[in-house]
Amino acid sequence: MKKNVGSLDRVIRWIVGLFLLSMIFWVNGSWRWIGLIGFVPLLTGSLNWCPLYSALGISTVPDAKAEKKEEKDTPA
C-alpha cells in the first residue's frame, strides 16, 4: 500500500472520525449508530492510505504529487 493521504488530509480525517464517533454518545435513537462510520476516516488516517483515493488515482502526499507531475511532463 503506497501512502496517498497527506498530513493535512490525515488531521481532517481524524477530526471528522472523532466527531462521528462522538455521535454515539450525544444522539438518541437509531441515528446514533451512524457514528460508527467514524471508524472509516480514523482507519484511513491512521494507515495514510485510502482505497477510494487509490481507485481514483488521487494522492495528497506532496512527494506523490511531484512524481505524477514529472510523469506527465516527460515526453513518451
Residue 58 in grid coordinates:
488521487
3-state helix, strand, coil in the chain (%, to 5): 75, 0, 25
The pLDDT of residue 63: 76
The pLDDT of residue 57: 92
Residue 48 in grid coordinates:
495514510
Residue 45 in grid coordinates:
488516517
Report the chain's mean pLDDT, rounded to a whole number: 88
With 90 as the cut, is the pLDDT of residue 41 above it? yes
Q: Span 3-18, mean pLDDT?
A: 95
pLDDT above 70 coverage of the chain, percent:
83
